[in-house]
Structure 1
Amino acid sequence: MHDLISHLDRLTSAHSVEELWALHTQKMKSYGFDRLMYGYTRYRTSHSLGDPQDWVLLSTQTPEYMRKFIDAGIYNDAPMLKWALANDGACSWRRLTEMSRTNNLTAGERRVMAFNHSMDVTAGYTISFRSISERSKGAIALTAEPGVTQDTVDETWEKHGGSIIVINNVMHLKLLSLPYSGERQLTRRQQEVLQWVGDGKTIQDIALLLGLTPATVEKHLRLAREALDVETTAQAVLKAAFYNQMFTMDTKA
C-alpha cells in the first residue's frame, strides 16, 4: 500500500505531460504491460471522435503500429475501442476471443485483429474512463509483453487489477490538468492575446496593454486561429482553454 501511495504522489506532483507519461509507462511495465496507448478527445460526436490532431494521444507502441492503426484509420474498426466508447471501467481482451468464437465480428474488426496479431498485440486490458461530457471520452489500452498469454494477464489482473485501475484513473485526471499542445502549438504571444480576449479585452485594450499596434494583435489572433484550426477567436479561446494553454503557471520553479 505504501508503494501505491508513493507512486500516486509522484503522479499528482508531475509538472508536465512528458514527466507524467514517463512515470506511468514505467509503472505499467512493472505489471507486464510494455506497450500503452492513451487517447482522449473533447470533440466526440455520434459519428466521429473528431480530428486526430485535436486528440490527446500518447503511445509507446512502435511508429509502424501507429502509422497503420491511427494514420491509416483502422482504429475505427477496433473492437476494444468500440467497447470503450460504450462503456466505463476495465475489460479483458478475452472478450475478443469470445467474439471471434461466436462469429460476432465484422470484416473490419477481423482486419484489426489480424493486424494486431501480426504486431504481437494479442493480450491485455482496456480501461475506459468515465466521461465528463457527451463530447469527451478517454481510454487506455494496456498491451502485455510479446508471448504473454491472456490467461497470464488475467491472473495478474486478479492480483493487481484494483491498483492498476486506480493508477490509470489518477494518471488520466492529472493529465487533464496539464498543458498539452500536441499538433496545436501556440507561441507565447498568441497565448497572451487569447488570454486577454478571454478576460474580455478589446483589440485596442490588448494593444495598449502589450505595447503593440492593433494590427499586430489582429495578426497574433489570426495565427492563433490558424494554429488551432478554428474559424473564430471565441473558438480559439475555448480550444486553448481545453488544452490548458492559457493562464498557465511555471510549476518548475
Structure 2
Amino acid sequence: MRSAEYLHRVMKFHTIEELWHAHVVQMGRYGFDRLLYGYTLFKTPTSLGDPDDFVILSNHSPEYLQGYMGEGLYSDAPMLKWALENEGASSWRSAQERARAGLLDAKSQAVYDFNQSMGVLAGYTISFNSPTQRFKGAIALTARPALMQDDVEAIWQEHGQDIILMNNVVHLKILTLPYRAPKRGLTKRQREVLQWVGDGKTTQDIALLMGLTTATIEKHLRLARETLSVETTAQAVLKAALHNQMYAIES
C-alpha cells in the first residue's frame, strides 16, 4: 500500500488496536516485521519515570518483551540512549560498530548481546519530536531475521522518508486515541467521578449528580488516586486526562 493511501486509512481509525494492527502490516511490507513503540509523559531529567506509566505497543514475542521491558534492559539499550538525546531517525549500524569495537559499557553490551540472541539484529529507530521535557516517544523497527543491516540501509535509501512520515503520523494519531494501561486502568465509575472533578464539581455536587453518597464518591476518588499512583485528586485528573482514560468509551 502506498504511503498516501495508508495515511488516509490511519486518519479513519478509532481504536489503538486497529491502528496498531494496520501499522504492523504496513511496516512489514518494508521488511520490518517486529515493532516496539512507546512513549511516556512523565520523563524526568534522570529517568523515563515509572515503567507502569509507559504506553507500550509491540508485536515482539512475550519472551523478548519480558527480558527487554520486564527485566529493565531497555534502560541501557544503546539506541534508546540515542533516542533520549535526539530526534529523527538513526540506523542501528552505529551501535553494531561500537559493539564490535568493544566501545559499549558492560550494561549496554549486555543489552546488545540479548538482542542478538533474540534475533533482533538489524533495523532503525525513530525518535519523535518532544513538545515538552517530560515527554518522549520513539519506535524501534526490527528487520526480518533474513535481512542484514546493509539490506536495511538499501530499503531506507529508497523508502526512508516515507517510513519516517508514516510513523510520525501514526504516533500523533495514537496520542489522540483512548488508551487504558493494562495494569492501572480506571473503572468506569472512577473515570466518571474524575470527569466531574475536572468540570469543577465538588464532592457534594458529584454525589447528587450520580445519585450516590459523598462517602462513596470519596471512595472512588481514593481508589482512583491509588490506581494512578498519585497523591492528590488534581494529579489524578491530570494523569487520567493525559492517558486518555477519563473520556474512554466503553466497548
1:227-246 matches, within 5 Å, as 227-246=227-246
Q: Which moved more, 1:214-223 or 1:121-130?
A: 214-223
Aligned pair 1:121/2:96, yes or no? no
1:153 matched to which residue of 2? Answer: 152
**Per-residue CA shift, 1:108-132, capped at 9, x if unaligned?**
1111111111111010000000101
Q: Distance in 2 between matches of 1:149 and 1:102?
A: 18
1:221-232 matches, within 5 Å, as 221-232=221-232
Q: Distance in 1 between matches of 2:101 and 2:249?
A: 53
1:88-237 matches, within 5 Å, as 88-182=87-181, 183-237=183-237
After the TM superposition, which parts of structure 1 deviate over 3 Å for at least 4 consecutive aligned residues?
Answer: 247-250
User: Which amino acid is the alignment partner of residue 208 of structure 1?
Assistant: L
Q: TM-score, normalised by structure 1?
A: 0.95
Shift of 1:188: 1.3
Shift of 1:190: 0.9
Shift of 1:98: 2.5
User: Which amino acid is the alignment partner of residue 180 of structure 2?
Assistant: S
Specify the SS of the correspondent of 2:2. helix
Shift of 1:236: 0.6
Q: Distance in 1 between matches of 2:72 and 2:243?
A: 24
Shift of 1:103: 3.3
Q: TM-score, normalised by structure 2?
A: 0.96
1:61-100 matches, within 5 Å, as 61-100=60-99
User: Which amino acid is the alignment partner of residue 160 of structure 1?
Assistant: H
Q: Distance in 1 between matches of 2:95 and 2:135?
A: 25
Q: Distance in 2 between matches of 1:52 and 1:79?
A: 18
User: Which amino acid is the alignment partner of residue 15 of structure 1?
Assistant: H
Specify the SS of the correspondent of 2:139. strand
Q: Distance in 2 between matches of 1:102 and 1:86?
A: 22
Shift of 1:99: 1.7
1:25 matched to which residue of 2? Answer: 24
User: Which amino acid is the alignment partner of residue 50 of structure 1?
Assistant: G
**Per-residue CA shift, 1:139-162, capped at 9, x if unaligned?**
000000112100000000001001
For structure 1, the 5+ residue unaligned runs are none
Specify the SS of the correspondent of 1:53. helix
Q: Distance in 1 between matches of 2:241 and 2:84?
A: 24
Is the 2:99–2:112 contact (alpha carbons within 8 Å) kept by the matching residues of 1? no
Is the 2:207–2:213 contact (alpha carbons within 8 Å) kept by the matching residues of 1? yes
Specify the SS of the correspondent of 1:200. coil
Shift of 1:100: 2.6
Q: Distance in 2 between matches of 1:55 and 1:77?
A: 16
User: Which amino acid is the alignment partner of residue 202 of structure 1?
Assistant: T
Q: Distance in 2 between matches of 1:100 and 1:38?
A: 24
Aligned pair 1:36/2:46, yes or no? no
User: Which amino acid is the alignment partner of residue 45 of structure 2?
Assistant: S
Q: Distance in 2 between matches of 1:247 and 1:105?
A: 45
Shift of 1:37: 0.3
**Per-residue CA shift, 1:55-100, capped at 9, x if unaligned?**
0001111111111111111111100000000000000111112323
Q: Distance in 2 between matches of 1:133 and 1:174?
A: 18
Q: Which moved more, 1:84-93 or 1:174-183?
A: 174-183
Specify the SS of the correspondent of 1:138. strand
CA RMSD of aligned residues (A): 1.4
Shift of 1:197: 0.4
